[in-house]
Chains A and B, each alone.
Chain A
Amino acid sequence: MLKINNLHASIEGKSILRGIDLEIKPGEIHAIMGPNGSGKSTLASVIAGKEEYEVTKGDIIFEGEDIGELAPDERAHKGVFLSFQYPVEIPGVSVTNFMKTAINETRKAKGLGDMPAKDMLKLIRDKSELLEIDRKFLSRSINEGFSGGEKKRNEIFQMAMLDPKLAILDETDSGLDIDALRIVANGVNKLKSNNNAVLVITHYQRLLDYIIPDFVHVLLNGRIVKSGGKELAHQLEEKGYDWLKEEVNA
């Protein structure tokens, strides 16, 4: 589904990603772990198409197509979704209207007409129940005055609404208490199928107790230095990252 080859990216001349190789197949859950500043969030942003980053080398193949030159909205139309570490507040646009616009723009890009209002309502109802979101919440301006947990739950609600092929969850566990974490993870697990894939980006192993990865990759200094199964996450939780740093330097 996603194949990243020798990806290098920089921002304002500063090189952040220095040769990433990653392949994600349908039905898989991958986790990327790493200390602060290792390039985790940059990788998420570059896959989603953030223009501030310059891809200096390598390519991003999604569903057999090089998407490196596509705008973020075009990538979204193809099925890439990014759950933000810090979701952005948009005063004056309600959650419902935001989602209606997003879904109908995606349909438009596929040559379809607007989703009938009845279907839209049903979709919103079903997905808000899945994430245990109060209906009143949906008429509020998006992310404005939301608590950390509400923001993250709202991200996964949007993911559920848009039904992407690849969901990238950037530090979705940060700012979540244990109940919110359970709801969010539960939502992600219910949305998981053999046809889609999830890339979890996290600093801590905690989230991976709930969203169990098939593969764990460790990112250090803009490179994947180690890959393994879910046991690698536990190892990192116990031993931290220093031993890996030493291994890399040696």
Chain B
Amino acid sequence: MDLKDKLVSSFMAFEDRVDVDTYVHDVRSEAIKIFEEKGFPTKKEEDWKYTSLRSILKEDYSVFPKHENTTEYRDVKKYFIHDIDTYNIVFIDGKYSSHLSQTTHDGMDVCLMSAAFSKPKYRLVIENYFNKAATKDSLSSLNTAFSSEGAYIHIPKNKLVEKPIQILHFSTGHESALMLQPRNLIVVDENSHVQIIERHQSLTGNPVLTNSVTEIFANKRAIVDYYKIQNDNKNASLIDHTFIKQKQESLASVHTFTFGGKLTRNNLNFYQEGQRIDSTLKGVTIIGDKQHVDHNTLVHHIEPNCESHQDYKGIFGENAKGVFNGKVVVEKEAQKTNAFQANNNILISDKATINTKPQLEIFADDVKCSHGCTIGQLDESALFYMKTRGIPEKEAKALLMYAFSNNVLSSVKIPEIKQRINKIIANKLGVRIGFDL
């Protein structure tokens, strides 16, 4: 049985375990129909032209983990941003781990989707927001159909959340191959500010496929900063869908740091539903081996006087493949839009490839939109300059690549994240950082 059939037929078993007499389940039932009809995307679809899922779909994934698994904090501590105080929502093989988590209901809700789906006090928020930002594409629909667990974060108005929130997914390898479908809902009300860090980490070499959906609602004047650390091991693949709806004067940023994983696809969609909205999308990708990373972004400018800033940098070695597809839509009403997009890439091997494609659809006439993409090698004159100062070729190259990717980090607001990412970049490039960051 192929994975699609397996998923569709297991939907009935899934229904035995959840409350079917709810709004949420109506949405799920709709979604499974969409998935059944569309199936997994293939390279024939424009959006998937350069990314084939075939090799990762052939594994015999367990779609519901059989056991409750645990892991000790000391074994996974290094995957946490642990040098600062944070809220933690931790899942092990898709199941909530209370002993690794630190949630709260003190003036806000930092807890679980399973709770939000089942308890009456969350019903209004769920009915107002659940699946209201996600698109009806097949993979998001697949996630919606099986949505049962993930992070639920609701920050009421005028609240500055002092501690960042970490959402961590660990897979233990107890299943020979595992498919995970976390579903997160994040609602940030007027004037509130929250910072979120997300990470998926497999603890063994067993294949893992994660099909994740996160919906984020940034209401009036809210500030949401989201950091994705993607440094998973070589048999883990991630298809991430993040949908962000912004209301007037809100600020939302998503930083995506991709270093690991077998295949990583990031679908990142911003919808600006108000005036004076600011959206930031930044990414650093450094991969090698046979890794494949595909960033697919959309910024939808719907109303006037808004801005978007997109800056993705990639370094591709060995047989790695990179894809960047950045779509910016500026509606007719969205006058005075300021949309900026850049995608700069360095290929450090003859066999590495990058396909980069900006797509601008502009229907307004009084806008500033710029885009640029570059694909290049390292600057020879800079290398010579560094060598004359006694820096050997290997270190000089590493330092140049480090500098190239590092400037995306200037907008990271949490110093510990900046430091962590800097260290990962340095490790990845084999640069000895003999200086302060």
| Interface, chain A (partner B; CB < 8 A) | 48-51, 71-73, 75-77, 80-82, 84, 87-93, 96-98, 100-106, 109, 114, 141, 158, 162
Q: Is the CB of B392 within 8 A of A105?
A: yes
Whether B387 is near chain A, meaning CB under 8 Å from some CB there, is yes
Q: Is the CB of B399 within 8 A of A93?
A: yes
Please report the C-alpha to C-alpha distance between residue A88 and residue B399 in the assembled complex, in whole angstroms: 14
- Picked from B379, B382, B434, the residue with its CB within 8 Å of the CB of A104 is B434
Nearest residue in B to A158 (C-beta to C-beta)? B389
Complex Cα distance A105/B434, Å?
A: 9
Find chain A residues with CB under 8 A from B382 CB.
88-90
Q: Which B residues are CB-close (under 8 A) to A101?
A: 391, 395, 399, 434-435
Partner of A90, one of B390, B393, B400, B434: B400
Would B406 and A92 count as touching, CB distance under 8 A? Answer: yes
Distance (whole angstroms) from the CB of B342 to the closest CB of chain A? 13
Q: 4 closest pairs, A vs B, by CB?
A: A92-B403, A76-B390, A72-B387, A102-B389
Asked whether A82 lies within 8 Å of B393 as measured between CB atoms, the reply is no
Residues from chain B with Cβ under 8 Å of A158 in the complex: 389
Q: When A73-B393, A109-B390, A162-B390 are in contact, do A100 and B435 touch as well, CB less than 8 Å?
A: yes
**Nearest Cβ on chain B to A235's Cβ, whole angstroms:** 33
Is there an interface contact between A88 and B385, defined as CB atoms closer than 8 Å?
yes
> A140 to B386, alpha carbons, bound, how many Å?
16
| Residue of B384, B390, B396 contacting most chain A CB atoms (<10 Å) | B390
**Which one of A84, A88, A105 lies within 8 Å of B390 (CB-CB)?**
A105
Say yes or no: is B35 at the interface (Cβ < 8 Å to chain A). no
- Chain B residues with CB under 8 Å of A71's CB are 387, 392-393
A69 to chain B, nearest CB (A): 15
Q: A96-B435, A97-B435, A100-B435 are in contact. Are A90 and B385 (CB under 8 A)?
A: yes
A71 CB to nearest chain B CB (Å)? 7
Chain B: which residue is nearest A89 at the CB level? Answer: B382
Asked if B435 and A73 make an inter-chain contact with CB atoms under 8 angstroms apart, the answer reads no
Shortest B434–chain A CB gap in Å is 5
Task: Assess whether B390 is in contact with A82, with CB atoms less than 8 Å apart.
Answer: no
Centre residue among B384, B395, B396 by max chain A CB count within 10 A? B384
In chain A, what residue has the closest Cβ to B434? A104
**Known contacts A90-B403, A92-B402; A48/B435 CB under 8 A:** no
Closest Cβ–Cβ distance, residue A137 to chain B (whole Å) = 17
Would you list which residues of chain B between 413 and 437 have a CB under 8 Å from chain A?
A: 434-436
- Would you call A93 and B390 a contact (CB within 8 A)? no
**Most central of B387, B399, B402 by chain A CB within 10 Å:** B387
Q: Which residues of A contact B392 (CB under 8 A)?
A: 71, 73, 105, 109
* B407 at interface by CB-CB < 8 Å: yes
Does B388 interact with chain A (Cβ within 8 Å)? yes
Q: How far is the CB of A90 from chain B (nearest CB, A)?
A: 5
Give A77 to B396 CA distance when docked, in angstroms: 15
Q: In chain A, what residue has the closest Cβ to B387?
A: A72
Known A100-B434, A101-B434, A114-B434; judge A93-B391 contact (CB<8 A): no
Contact across chains for B391 and A105 when beta carbons are under 8 A apart = yes
Q: Which residue of A lies closest to B408 (CB)?
A: A92
Q: Given A102-B389, A162-B389, does the pair A72, B407 have CB atoms closer than 8 Å? A: no
9 contacts between A and B (CB under 8 A): A49-B387, A71-B392, A73-B391, A92-B407, A93-B402, A101-B434, A102-B391, A103-B390, A162-B390
B404: interface (CB < 8 Å): yes
Which residues of chain A are within 8 angstroms of B399 by Cβ–Cβ distance? 93, 101
Provide the residues of chain B in CB contact with A100, threshold 8 Å.
434-435
Task: Using known A-B contacts A50-B384, A87-B385, A88-B381, determine if residue A102 contacts B390 with beta carbons closer than 8 Å.
Answer: yes
Cβ contact within 8 Å between B402 and A73: no
Taking a contact as CB atoms under 8 Å apart, the answer to whether B390 and A48 are in contact is no
B400 — nearest CB in chain A belongs to which residue?
Answer: A90
- Residue among B381, B391, B402, B436 having the largest count of chain A Cβ atoms under 10 Å: B391
By a CB distance below 8 angstroms, the chain B residues around A96 are: 435
B395 touches A105 (CB 8 A): yes
Q: In the complex, A88 Cα to B404 Cα: how many Å?
A: 15
Chain A residues within an 8 Å CB radius of B381: 88
A26→B305 CA distance, assembly (Å): 67
Question: What residue in chain B is nearest A87 (Cβ atoms)?
Answer: B385
Q: A92-B404, A101-B395 are in contact. Are A81 and B388 (CB under 8 A)?
A: yes
10 more contacts with CB within 8 A, not counting A49-B387, A73-B393, A91-B404, are: A50-B384, A73-B389, A76-B389, A88-B382, A88-B384, A90-B385, A93-B402, A102-B391, A114-B434, A162-B390
Residues from chain B with Cβ under 8 Å of A88 in the complex: 379, 381-382, 384-385
Please determine whether A84 and B385 come into contact, CB atoms closer than 8 angstroms.
Answer: yes
Give the complex CA separation of A158 and B395 in angstroms: 18
Decide: A106 and B390 in contact? CB cutoff 8 A: yes
Q: Return chain B residues, CB-CB under 8 Å to A90.
A: 382, 385-386, 400, 403
Pairwise interchain contact A73-B387, C-beta atoms closer than 8 A: yes
* Complexed CA–CA distance, A172 and B126 (Å): 68
Smallest beta-carbon distance A107→chain B, Å: 9
- CB-CB under 8 A from B387, the residues of chain A are 49, 71-73, 76
B434: chain A residues at CB < 8 Å are 100-101, 104, 114
CA of A109 to CA of B386, assembled, Å? 15
Q: How far is it, in angstroms, between the C-alpha of A88 and the C-alpha of B380 when the chains are bound?
A: 10
Contact of A98 with B407 in the complex, beta carbons under 8 Å: no
With CB as the reference atom, state the residue of chain A lying closest to B431: A101
